[in-house]
Structure 1
Amino acid sequence: MTDSKAWFRRFHPAAPGAPRLLCFPHAGGTASYFHSLSAALAPAVDVLAVQYPGRQDRHAEPLVDDLFLLADRLAEVVAAEVTGPTAFFGHSMGASLAFEVARRLGAGPIGLFASGRRAPASFAGGPVPERSDDELLADVRRIGGTDPRVLAHPELLRLVLPVLRNDFKAAETYHYRPGPDVGCPVFALFGDSDPRVTEAEARRWAEHTSGPFELKAFPGGHFYLNDNLEEVGGLIGERLTQWTGEPLASDQQ
Structure 2
Amino acid sequence: MTLDTRGDVDLINIRHPMSPSTFRMAFFPHLLDSSVRLLDLAELLLPTVEVLAFQYPGAYDFDGPPRIGGTAKLADRAFGTLMAWTDRPLALFGHRVGADVAYEVAKRLEQEAGVVPATLFISGRGGPARTGPELRCPVVALTREHSPRALVEDVRSWESCTTGPFSLEVLPRAHGGPDGYSRQVANLVHDQLISGENKGL
TM-score (norm 2): 0.79
Sequence identity percentage: 34
1:148-163 residue pairs with structure 2 within 5 A?
Answer: none
**Superposed CA offset, 1:108-161 (max 9, x none):** 31111111111113xxxxxxxxxxxxxxxxxxxxxxxxxxxxxxxxxxxxxxxx
Alignment length (residue pairs): 184
1:206-221 residue pairs with structure 2 within 5 A?
Answer: 206-219=159-172
1:184-195 residue pairs with structure 2 within 5 A?
Answer: 184-194=137-147
2:7 is the alignment partner of 1:7: no
Unaligned runs of 5+ in 1: 122-175, 247-253
2:38 is the alignment partner of 1:34: yes
2:28 is the alignment partner of 1:75: no
1:117-156 residue pairs with structure 2 within 5 A?
Answer: 117-121=125-129
Q: Which residue of 2 aligns with 1:116?
A: 124
Q: Which residue of 2 aligns with 1:150?
A: none
Whose helix proportion is higher, 1 or 2?
A: 1
Secondary structure of the corresponding residue to residue 200 of structure 1: helix
Deviation of the 1:245 alpha carbon: 2.6
1:198-237 residue pairs with structure 2 within 5 A?
Answer: 198-219=151-172, 227-237=180-190
**Which amino acid in 2 is paired with 1:112?**
L
8 Å Cα contact 1:185/1:212 also seen in 2: yes
- Whichever of the two has the greater Rg, that structure is 1
**C-alpha distance 206-192 of structure 1, shift in aligned 2 (>3 A):** same
Q: Distance in 2 between matches of 1:26 and 1:213?
A: 23
For the aligned residues, what is the CA RMSD?
2.8
8 Å Cα contact 1:85/1:244 also seen in 2: no
8 Å Cα contact 1:4/1:81 also seen in 2: no
**C-alpha distance 48-206 of structure 1, shift in aligned 2 (>3 A):** same
Unaligned runs of 5+ in 2: 1-5
Of structures 1 and 2, the one scoring higher in RCO (CA 8 A, sep 6+) is: 1
Q: Distance in 1 between matches of 2:51 and 2:88?
A: 13
